[in-house]
């Protein structure tokens, strides 16, 4: 299957094909919902998406792996990753042996992705080394631009549009933001274990919630009523971002819409699960069942095949 995808994408060099295969493996292993949605794209689009995921995963692993590396060591690794990408993509010089970088640089060149998108992403990743709290929505939005919105902007040329790209860009950015806000709600427990809180402190304080209360709730595996009210407010705000993002789906090429629809459906249903379990985010992790993911994927696949047939595409 992967060989046919690489053939469709015009990847002929064997070393580069292997690089894309490694990125696909990373996506399949770590991004199960995202990988499933990616299967709904045309074969020619998939390698680029795997490469973008692979690069983001590399940076994420530097930051979030539970191991004894110090902040300085992680900072050095992140800077080395940034320097290597800049050397290859901007200076057009080969730098070391890194298949993930080989694939993402090839993708960036094919789809004319600007270095600034990667630089903004890496800037937000650096914030995770030292920033543990966000005082207000504006501060969180600055972080999310680089960590989530630019992912949507990187994906947009791969997905293609039926309108000028700049018209669709705000909606693509909103979709990346909606997915990350969903993760913030789902992963409060895990993030707090890493010492981070990705919710605006002033909005939590409006309900009488602070880091001390979050820690108490985590230790006791309970959602205190004031925290429940605060999470319900964050939940409602995230829903509004999804509604904005949804308007952009019609701006995408028809062959890409089933994938984005499926991803949006599955991620928004994580919000449904959080609400259904009454925001008991420290008691269990909200997930969408495998059967439901397969159901959504099946519907999306039927739509994707129809769209490809109209393009005479396999």
List the alpha helices (DSSP H) in 31-159: 32-38, 46-64, 71-89, 99-110, 115-130, 137-144, 150-159
Residue 300 binned pLDDT confidence (cut-offs 50, 70, 90): confident
From the list 44, 24, 28, 25, the residue with the least C-alpha distance to 36 is 28
Q: Can you tell me the mean pLDDT for 209-226?
A: 97
Residue 311 binned pLDDT confidence (cut-offs 50, 70, 90): low
Domains in the chain, please, with CATH?
1-129 (1.10.600.10), 131-313 (1.10.600.10)
CA distance 182 to 266: 11
How much is the pLDDT for 32? 77
pLDDT at 65 over 80: no
CA distance 34 to 260: 10
How far is residue 118 from each of residues 90, 106, 125, 143, measured CA to CA in Å? 11, 14, 11, 14
Ramachandran category for residue 164: left, alpha or beta (phi over 0 → left; psi -120 to 50 → alpha): beta
pLDDT at 314 over 60: no
Single pTM value for the model:
0.92
Tens digit of pLDDT for each residue in 68-121?
A: 889 999 999 999 999 999 999 999 988 778 999 999 999 999 999 999 999 999
Q: Which two tokens stand for residue 147?
A: 């960590």
């Amino acid at each position: 299957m992967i060989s046919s995808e690489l053939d469709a994408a015009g990847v002929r060099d064997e070393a580069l094909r292997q690089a894309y295969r490694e990125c696909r493996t990373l996506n399949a292993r770590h991004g199960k919902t995202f990988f499933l949605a990616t299967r709904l794209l045309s074969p020619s689009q998939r390698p680029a998406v795997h490469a973008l995921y692979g690069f983001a995963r590399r940076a994420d692993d530097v930051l979030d792996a539970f191991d004894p590396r110090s902040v300085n060591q992680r900072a050095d690794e992140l800077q080395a990753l940034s320097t290597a990408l800049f050397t290859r993509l901007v200076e057009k010089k080969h730098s070391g042996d890194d298949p993930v970088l080989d694939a993402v640089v090839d993708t960036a060149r094919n789809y004319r992705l600007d270095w600034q998108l990667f630089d903004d992403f890496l800037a937000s990743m650096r914030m995770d080394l030292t920033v543990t709290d966000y005082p207000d929505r504006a501060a969180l939005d600055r972080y999310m631009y680089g960590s989530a919105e630019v992912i949507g902007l990187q994906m947009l040329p791969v997905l293609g549009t039926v309108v000028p790209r700049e018209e669709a860009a705000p909606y693509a950015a909103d979709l990346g933001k909606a997915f990350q806000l969903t993760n913030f709600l789902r992963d409060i427990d895990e993030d707090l274990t890493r010492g981070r809180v990705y919710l605006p402190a002033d909005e939590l304080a409006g309900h009488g919630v602070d880091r001390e209360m979050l820690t108490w709730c985590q230790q006791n595996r309970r959602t205190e009523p004031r925290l429940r009210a605060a999470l319900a407010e964050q939940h409602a705000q995230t829903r509004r971002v999804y509604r904005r993002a949804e308007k952009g789906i019609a701006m995408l090429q028809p062959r890409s819409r089933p994938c984005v629809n499926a991803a949006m459906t599955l991620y928004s249903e994580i919000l449904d699960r959080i609400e259904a379990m009454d925001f008991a985010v420290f008691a269990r992790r909200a997930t969408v069942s495998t059967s439901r993911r397969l159901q959504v994927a099946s519907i999306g696949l039927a739509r994707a095949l129809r769209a490809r047939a109209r393009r005479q595409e396999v």
